[in-house]
A and B are shown apart, each in its own frame.
Chain A
């Protein structure tokens, strides 16, 4: 098992003919993901290394039976691309685009939950999702993810940051711990999928035995997750929060990573998670060590 995606997930790439879409789309395909088509308006009928390109998502869905979309288009076009995919019946959208205006993002998110409640959006500004050995949508380098073992225990990863997601995958691989699914929810202020959505799925997934959560400063998603964990998550967890030393009032690279008015600090988030029974590491390696201890005890 895995969450959100599996070996049967059929993926189209919106922006397959662009630089990023082509590079990562082909890498995802090479990993074994069923990349069945691409969408670029005006380029329908062509192909990218054998992957057919369509003018619209609706055409691509009709021809290929795709259920997921990987959006790699520029910020100006991203929210329209998200809504086009949802309108065409795509159930799972991964949007890696960084730099979407917050107003557009908020409007797209609220349109989705109102008009297309069955569609899940992952991102924007996220690295994507990988279920090792089954499906990789996004920009994660597949080779750094350890395959889950049939006997377990396997770990699920959920993270706001891209590179720290890779770091977590790497820490687990170094220790020989398998990964069920790794989800990068992204660093923007209005992510389509949040920690709680992923925790809920991991809790229900029989292949996931423990969970690593990686957060960062800004907003209150980690505190809300901590409340949820306390009430609903019985699987053991470790966590790491980036940005303990980040100065207030500055956006630390990610649009959503900002401490404002004394809110959204790393310390507050670490305290909330610790109070919910999560083992909190002071750096990614320590979170990996804590997870190794957890796994050894399972």
Chain B
């Protein structure tokens, strides 16, 4: 789960990482109140999970309440690369002497944690990696050992940080590492990490991605979950506890297993179609799960056909078939189903479907993944039916 900047800053603050005084606001009036509280000058920042906010006019400096009102009015409701700005973060503006970069993430190749540290902050780290890779210091950390302040000081020194900022940067690295590990982040990034003219080090932005697998030990994440940017289909799928990702195409996808679901998207694409979603119903799909999956797909106005791709390993073909028959009694589908049922007890499953008296216009069965994909795509593209 990716956090908005203001949430990331609140999360940082839990681990004593210094951030600017400020508050979030959903309305212009609230924004002015937060600005008054933070103390002028303030920066009004659009809260969207997409890069390039500044260039799009989503970050503005305000010297007084009138300016704060004007900027908040312009930014709230703004469309930044397809993201609607519903909230702004208003914080006391910082004087900046230097802009640095620091992040912790998991290096999957090394199977260890990884610090990335650079004196060139304020720009995308990917850009720095391309234009000036030597400016980025990369250090691996054994998760069993963790890091110490001495280690962090050495890292800052090794990357030639000015003497005056080494101690401050190192202290933040230790806190950021604690936030990353104890806070169960996939990514904890500060860009820019600033040096103020007064010598203090301070997080001016926050990019935090949380590991959903650790949600059970973080009740404080509930509030982040409430603001997560999901479309209505994804919201519905979450309520039904389904692994669903909304896409733009016209073939609804239901498959068992993440790999097979991904593969189903690929095959639909290969035969000239586009998938409306990714949906993994997991192992042992019963009628309830199948009905829930069909309801979510059915909600999607773009769906013109539904491709159910099941390979029975643990999941048994006859149970899937019973599930579909039951689900069809519960859900009035707007698009026809093409099913490919293979693996354990697939023959029994196909017989159940064949003898259920479901018209071909509602459900057709195909023996292989490719044939089923072609049939589903033909319907979606208007050639079939």
Contact = CB atoms under 8 A, between A and B. Distances in A.
Q: A and B from one assembly?
A: yes
B266 A256 contact: no
A235 interface: no
Contact of B245 (A101, A221, A250): A250
A161 B257 contact: yes
Nearest to A114: B144
B343 A144 contact: yes
B368 to A, nearest CB: 7
Contact of B258 (A107, A166, A224, A254): A254
A216 to B, nearest CB: 6
A197 to B, nearest CB: 13
Contacts of B144: 107, 110-111, 114
A284 B213 contact: no
Contact of B259 (A144, A190, A216): A216
Given A103-B184, A167-B260, A283-B266, A220 B109 contact: yes
A22 to B, nearest CB: 14
Contacts of B109: 219-221, 224
Interface stretch (B62-70, B131-139, B311-319): B311-319
B302 to A, nearest CB: 15
Nearest to B215: A101
A100 interface: yes
Interface residues of A, number: 62
B376 interface: no
A159 to B, nearest CB: 8
Interface in A223-250: 224, 240, 242-247, 250
Contact of B313 (A104, A163, A190, A245): A163
Contact of B143 (A107, A163, A242, A254): A107
A102 B209 CA distance: 12
Contacts of A224: 109
B313 A144 contact: yes
Given A139-B283, A167-B260, A284 B369 contact: yes
Contact of A247 (B112, B211, B245): B245
Contacts of A132: none
B369 A164 contact: no
B136 to A, nearest CB: 13
Contacts of A99: 213
A96 B136 CA distance: 38
A216 B369 CA distance: 18
A195 to B, nearest CB: 12
A99 B217 CA distance: 13
A101 B214 contact: yes
Nearest to A243: B262
Interface residues of B, number: 50
B259 A242 contact: yes
A151 to B, nearest CB: 27
B344 A217 contact: no
A113 to B, nearest CB: 8
A189 B256 CA distance: 21
A187 interface: yes
A21 interface: no
B263 A164 contact: yes
A222 B343 CA distance: 27
Nearest to A74: B216
A163 B256 contact: yes
B278 A170 contact: no
Interface in B235-284: 243, 245, 247, 255-263, 265-270, 275, 278, 280, 283
A253 interface: yes
A76 B108 contact: no
Contact of A285 (B255, B256, B280, B368): B368
A279 interface: no
Contacts of A214: 259
B158 interface: no
Contacts of B260: 161, 163-164, 167, 242
B333 interface: no
A166 B267 contact: no
Given A164-B260, A242-B266, A110 B245 contact: no
Contacts of B113: 106
A170 B368 CA distance: 12
B126 interface: yes
A93 B352 CA distance: 40
B326 interface: no
B344 A252 contact: no
A146 to B, nearest CB: 14
Interface in A144-177: 144, 159-167, 170
A242 B143 CA distance: 30
A141 interface: yes
Interface centre among B260, B262, B269, B343 (most CB of A within 10 A): B262
Contacts of B268: 245
B78 interface: no
A262 B129 CA distance: 13
A262 B278 CA distance: 20
Closest 8 CB pairs of A and B: A161-B259, A253-B258, A163-B257, A101-B214, A163-B260, A164-B259, A166-B313, A242-B262
Interface of A: 75-76, 99-104, 106-107, 109-111, 114, 127, 139-141, 143-144, 159-167, 170, 187, 189-190, 214, 216-221, 224, 240, 242-247, 250, 252-257, 261-262, 266, 282-285
27 contacts: A101-B213, A102-B106, A106-B113, A106-B143, A139-B283, A144-B343, A161-B262, A162-B257, A162-B313, A163-B259, A170-B311, A189-B106, A189-B108, A216-B259, A242-B259, A243-B262, A244-B269, A245-B266, A253-B258, A253-B262, A253-B280, A254-B258, A255-B211, A261-B126, A283-B266, A283-B369, A283-B370
Given A243-B262, A262-B126, 14 more contacts: A76-B216, A101-B213, A102-B106, A110-B143, A114-B144, A161-B258, A163-B255, A189-B106, A218-B108, A240-B263, A245-B265, A246-B265, A253-B280, A266-B266
